Structure formats: structure tokens, C-alpha cells
Chain A
Amino acid sequence: MAEKLKVATCSLAGCFGCHMSLLDVDERLLELLEIVEFDRSPINDIKHISQPVDLGLIEGGVCNAENIHVLHEFRKMCKILVAVGECGITGGIPSMRNSFTLKECLEEAFVRGAGTENAHIPDDPEIPLLLDKVRPLHHIVKIDYFLPGCPPSAEAFLYFLTELMAGRDPSLPQELIHFD
């Protein structure tokens, strides 16, 4: 048997919807697991990539310092890095906050918000610091491929992975390209 494709995945400023869609391949997941092996991923709860992998799938844009660290780890450890879904590709829904200043956002949530007591902007060092804007992945590191959709459909995931593993250009056919 050929060596399995090592894959790592993560969700940054995303909703895990893309991961859910990947799981939506249903029983084909079993076939998929015949050919791929997951390293770091929310699917198996491995926290860091243990060794260089072939493929990294990243869902979500970049909204805080921790996202940057994770993205850098992925870029370092993944031969091929893929931005998955609208948020990873464009910033998506979280980037709607870019129309406001960070101050406006945080005050709206933590100071002026209904029912807040002892209102202040959280400053615990445990909490990753927010970036001024939410950005797509390609602003921070080189991205090799983009898999659009909100989320990309299970079919799009399968098509993309199959083509990539066959060593072909994984560009989606028109009917599989969706931004929503």
C-alpha cells in the first residue's frame, strides 16, 4: 500500500463549519481514511503538528495573535497549505468588524453591552490579543491553494483532495465553485 497522505487541519477565526462539511462526506470518510492520515486536527484533538506533513487545511481568517502563531506553524510544517472556506480566503463574516475600530467593537461587546457588570475590556494574558483587523490567510503567509465555499461542499472537498492526490491541478469545475 502506498504511503498515506499526512494531513493537518485547524480552524482559526472560523465556525468549524468547514470541518463539519468535511465530515459530511459521510461513509466516504472511511475511504478517505484509507488514503489520508490526520496529524494535528480538531478531529483527533492533537494540539501541535508532530512532524512535517503533506497537506495543511486551514479554515477561518486571522483575528488574533494566537491565529498568527498557528498559521506560522502550519506554513512551517505543511508542504502544501490550503485556505479552506470564505473566512480563510477573504476574512469572511468575522471580517465584517473591519468596518469598525477595535475599540468600538470591544466597547460594544464588553462595556456598553446589555447586562454587563463591572464593565471593562478583558485584559487577561490568557486571552489572545485581537488584531486591529480580521484578515484572510494569504495576507500573512503564502497559500498554495484555495477551496472556496461557506462551507465548501463535501463534494468540493472530495474533488479537491482526489485531484490533489492524483497529482493533478485541483481547480474546481464551475459548478463546484461557491462563495456561500
Chain B
Amino acid sequence: MYPSLTIPVPDFLDSIPVEHRKDPHALLQILIQIQHAYHHVPKEAAKRLAEEMGVPLVRVQGLLSFYSFLSPEPQGDYVIHFSDNITDQMLGNRGLAAHLCQRLGVKLGETRKDGRVSVHFTSCTGMCDQGPAALVNYLPVTNLDQERIERIADLVNAQIPLQDWPPEFFTVKSQIRRSDVVFRKPIEPGEGIRASLERGGAFLAEWAEDLAPSDARKHHLERGGAETLKEIYRSELRGRGGAGFKTGIKWESVRDAKSSDHYVLCNADEGEPGTFKDRVLLTDYADMVFEGMTICGHAVGSKTGILYLRQEYWYMKEHLEKVLSRRREAGLLGKGILGTALDFDIELHFGAGAYICGMETAMIKSIEGRRGIPRRRWPLPVHQGYLRCPTVVNNVETFAAATVISAKGGAWFAHNGTGQSTGTKLFCVSGDCERPGIYEYPWGVSVHEVLRDCGALDAQGVQVGGPSGTMINTREFDRSACFEDLVGTGTLMIFGPQRDMFEAVKNFALFFQHESCGLCTPCRVGTTLLANYVRKFEKGCGSPVDLKEMQNISGLMKTMAHCGLGQTANHHITESIEKFPAIWKGRMKTTEFIPAFDLDGALEEARNLTGRTDPEAHLAPDHAPMEA
């Protein structure tokens, strides 16, 4: 069914351009191609790549063991990854996955003996407003239900190729439920660039007399870029990825940094569970994003942009490549943009399954073909980023905003929002509500207002900004989404009155344990200990001592962890203890201290080995395990 699965490995590698095969920076991108072709990376391919690139084999293996979607061992002809965000779980993904496994006769996490199919869970795939979702051979399937699961089982068992599956399975909707000033009337392709270039125009006439044409064109370009930078400053735009750094300052630092090359990286890793605005922006408004990157290139003096997408968005590759070539044809990308001296082009790079790659320095390493481990703090990427050159890294939504600012002016943009949070923001709404999807509001909108608009007035809690963000209860619904109050990626996962918030806490704890990169001690060990404590409570065997320990570990991670992942991977613990104390109290024993493991269970192995059943072969069985 998958002809490429049977292509001899040497032939497949030969088909990759030799300059790629010899470039270690392309290692990850090539491994992704191999993974897609063979549904794993054959040893033979890993070995030959290492030789051709001149890198140690251990480095290739290092990538295979780091990125979740790369596998050193063979997978099925059909590889199915169920999205396992809490929103998927609330829509019943666990039962559906179990049913599919049963229908297919395969164990979760394994490949069927005949090599036909493998089924796994994966972190949130960004389809929370149309879940439960899964990836089948790296393509999203949405709105899973019993009926679709039955069909999928039949299709797999009948070996029907993916292109003959019902196309509606693969439909991904952009459910924009509310537009405000920006998306009510989006910027036309070219409008933002033209405005940016024209900012240099007024000065051209004065120079033209004294300068050679090529110098005049260069000055024109630089002046325009500088003026656009001023507009960005005027807009007071702050990064939309969560941290909220002032975009103007970032761009100016890169513009001022001396180097032969400067880079513009767009972060579409969008791994924060519950977040899917970048997916919608790149589907419906890719032009605005690419245009923002081009404007940034103009402002900072860069010729190269890279859009880094999470593996889950592989299905957009063709669409995005089409938009890029259309823009090249329209003179909006490539050499001499719109007839000026502006050269700028954009490449697509993909991740391969690692939440940490949303962290800018980890993303840079991933684009360089390495394991996505956050690097040390200094030097900053604006001075030494991608390939050690000055680099702007911004979120998809930030670049889209830059296009709006260039076209309409910084003052127009700053008119909306609050004092420290200008403009509008896209909110990703999912969970228990009538109308999940994307909502555009000016910054400062209250949670209550969003809940009213999406039809979720009976919510008991909302996770704002994803698992690393803030968990709020009904008393906080008048809080507003802005950098002054509830910051984050604009993600709202809503929990109705029927939900047990403990399930969310457990989902987040296991997510962070899975996604910790392992570099620093507090996060590597802390996420595991927290997950173990949560499991202990799950068994109803928590104690007040454990709660104190969890808060202690959380504080340790907050202060001592290397990067934002570890510093925030404990919020769900501390906030749920504070705001939803009942979910913890209900899972406690009354005693002060409860063992870290099930005493009687620890004798089970010896009982089996000796066949003993006497009273001395048992211990009071009222305790539960927490060792992983």
C-alpha cells in the first residue's frame, strides 16, 4: 500500500539532494522524510546519513530518541497517534482508542504482529475544538466517534490506502467564531510590505541626485526598514507566544547586531495543549504571517526566514508551499521584492514531536538539526541565534500583527487593548462549551465575557494559557486576559460542572513528565516526582505530608529550573491545591503519613514465587503505589 515502504533505502537516500545529505543542519529534516517513507528510520539509513554528513552515529541516534515521532524500530503500515490532551479525554478519546485497539487486535503502544498497524497516544495535536483527534500516518483525523472508529478499523483491516479513505475524515475546520478589528477585514497580500517599503520612499528623491542608483536603493530600503521599526515601537506590540517581550526591542537588537547574516524565525511549534490559533492563522491567513516575516526581514536587514512547524502540522506543508510560490510569483518574496532592493525568502522546517521546541533556543537547535535542548541564557538569540547569527524569533500571531501594524500604522493598532497590552488577541476556546473555536478580542477581555460568548456559563474552572498557565475557578472569572493579569498564549480550556478537575491535573502532570527534555535536575526529576505523587492521590492514598512535598518540589522547580518549561511545569499542582482543594482532600487518608508504595502489593512477587498464602504472607493492603 505504501510503495515507498518498499523502496530500497539506498535508492531513497539517493533521491535526496546530495547537498542536503552532506549538511548536518538538514539531519532532522531528512530523518523526518525517512520516517514518513518507512514509518521508522532504518538502521541502514541512520548509518549512511551519519557517514555522509560526517557526524557520529550516536548523534543520529540521539535525535531518534529525543523526538517522539521518530522511531528507530519499525512501526505499522498505518501508524495511529491518538491526541491525548485533557480536551480529547473529556470527549472520550481513551474509550475510542481502547475500542480501536480491540477491533484491530493490537496493544496500545505496540505494532500488530503482521506489521499492519501501530496505535499510540501523543500530546495534544492542536485540534481541541474538533476532537477527539488522531494522526493517521501523520495526517490529522478529527471529530472521532464510535462510527469513525469502526470505519477506521475496517479500512485498516482491508488495507485501504489513505488517499481512498473518506476525505471528510481529514477535514480540519477553522472555526473562527468571533472577529474583531483585525480579522473582520484582513490585510490583503502585499499591503503590509508595500507600506513598509513606501516608508523609505519619501526620502528617495533627495538622495537620488547624490548617490549611485544602487546605493540610493539601499538607503531607501534601510530608511523604510527603520521607519517600519518605529511603527512597531509605536504599536507597543508584545510577543504573542506567551512571554510578551516587546517586539520593537527584539527587532532593533537584531537590526543593530553586526553580522553578515541575520535570520527571522517564525515559531509555529504551538505545542501548548489547548492552543490552535497558529494552525488557523496558517490555514486562513498564511499570507499575513509570511508578510509579517518579510516585513521583519526588511526592518532588521535579514534575507532569510524560516517557519518552524510542529510535526502535527505536516498536513499543511503543501498548502503553505503553494502560498509561498504564489507570493514569489507576485513579487512578494525572493529577490528584489516589489522591484526594490529587498531580498527575502522563507523556508519551511518541521519539528518531530517535542513540546520543548516551542522554547526559542530549543527551536533554534532543532532547526540546526540537533536535539531541541534549550541552550544557556547568554548570548541571547538576538545576538547569537540560528547559526550563531543575530536572530528574531517570534510567534505566528506576532508576525501577523506586524503586517497589520505596517499596513495600518502603530497608532491604529495601539488604539485597541489595555495600557500594557495593545491590539487584539486570538483566543483558543475548547472544552465544555457550546461553540469551541477561535475568538478575536481586544486584550483585556474578561474570562466571563469569553465564557458567555462561547456558551459556557456553567463552567467550574478554566485553564488559561495551557497547562503551563493559570488554573482559575469561578471566583476569578472577572479576571481579564492581558499582560497585566492573565497572560499566556490565549488558550482557554473550559471545565463544566460535571468534570473532576483532578483529571486535568493528572493529564498535565503526565504531559510535563513526558515532555521534560531532561537537561536540568529540577525539571527532569521534579516532573517525575510530581507525576508520582499525583498517581498516589489517584489511588486515594494521599496525605497532607504529600501535599506539602508537592508544593515544596514546585517551589524548587520554579526557582531552580533552567527554562520556562521547568519553571512553569508545576503551576497545575500549586494552583489546583489552592483553587480546587476538594479534589485533593477527597483523595487523602486521614493519617499523617502514608507509605510511598503498596505494602501488600510489594509482597506479591514473593507470594507468587513461594506459593505462600498464610497470614504472614500479607500486609495490611490499604496503601497504594507511587513508585514509577
> When the two chains form the complex, which single residue of A103, A123, A140 contacts B599, counting CB atoms closer than 8 Å?
A140
Contacts of A125 in B (CB 8 A): 612, 614, 616-617
B609 at the interface (CB under 8 A from A): yes
List which B572-605 residues lie within 8 A (CB) of chain A: 592-593, 595-597, 599, 602-605
Q: Are B606 and A102 in contact (CB under 8 A)?
A: yes
Please report the C-alpha to C-alpha distance between residue A100 and residue B596 in the assembled complex, in whole angstroms.
20
List which B603-623 residues lie within 8 A (CB) of chain A: 603-607, 609-612, 614, 616-619
Contacts of A141 in B (CB 8 A): 593, 595
Please report the C-alpha to C-alpha distance between residue A142 and residue B618 in the assembled complex, in whole angstroms.
22
Contacts known (A65-B619, A129-B610); A103 close to B605, Cβ less than 8 A: yes
Nearest CB of A to B253, in Å: 45
Nearest CB of B to A149, in Å: 24
Our count of residue pairs bridging A and B at CB distance below 8 angstroms stands at: 57
Contacts of B612 in A (CB 8 A): 123, 125, 129
Please report the C-alpha to C-alpha distance between residue A142 and residue B592 in the assembled complex, in whole angstroms.
9
Please report the C-alpha to C-alpha distance between residue A141 and residue B609 in the assembled complex, in whole angstroms.
27
Nearest CB of B to A71, in Å: 10
Q: Are A102 and B593 in contact (CB under 8 A)?
A: no
Nearest CB of B to A152, in Å: 24
Please report the C-alpha to C-alpha distance between residue A57 and residue B150 in the assembled complex, in whole angstroms.
62
Q: Are A129 and B599 in contact (CB under 8 A)?
A: no
Q: Give the nearest-CB partner of A136 in chain B.
A: B596
Please report the C-alpha to C-alpha distance between residue A170 and residue B361 in the assembled complex, in whole angstroms.
46
Q: Are A103 and B616 in contact (CB under 8 A)?
A: no
Q: Give the nearest-CB partner of A131 in chain B.
A: B602
Contact with A along B536-580 (1 / 0, CB 8 A): 000000000100000000000000000000000000000000000
Q: Give the nearest-CB partner of B543 in chain A.
A: A142
Contacts of A121 in B (CB 8 A): 609-610
Q: Are A139 and B606 in contact (CB under 8 A)?
A: no
Contacts of A106 in B (CB 8 A): 609
Contacts of A139 in B (CB 8 A): 595-597
Contact with B along A122-138 (1 / 0, CB 8 A): 11010011111101000
Q: Give the nearest-CB partner of B614 in chain A.
A: A125
> When the two chains form the complex, which single residue of B545, B599, B606, B614 contacts A130, counting CB atoms closer than 8 Å?
B606
Nearest CB of A to B622, in Å: 13
A68 at the interface (CB under 8 A from B): yes
Q: Are A142 and B606 in contact (CB under 8 A)?
A: no
Q: Are A128 and B616 in contact (CB under 8 A)?
A: yes
Please report the C-alpha to C-alpha distance between residue A140 and residue B592 in the assembled complex, in whole angstroms.
12
Q: Give the nearest-CB partner of B597 in chain A.
A: A139
Counting from the closest, the 5 A-B pairs by CB-CB distance are A123-B610, A142-B593, A131-B602, A139-B596, A125-B614
Given contacts A65-B616, A68-B619, 6 further A-B contacts (CB under 8 A): A103-B605, A123-B611, A130-B603, A130-B606, A135-B597, A141-B593
Ordered by A's residue number, 25 sampled pairs between the chains whose C-beta atoms are within 8 Å are A65-B603, A65-B618, A68-B599, A68-B619, A101-B605, A121-B610, A123-B610, A123-B612, A125-B612, A129-B606, A129-B607, A129-B610, A129-B612, A129-B616, A130-B603, A131-B603, A132-B602, A132-B604, A133-B602, A140-B595, A140-B596, A140-B599, A141-B595, A142-B545, A142-B592
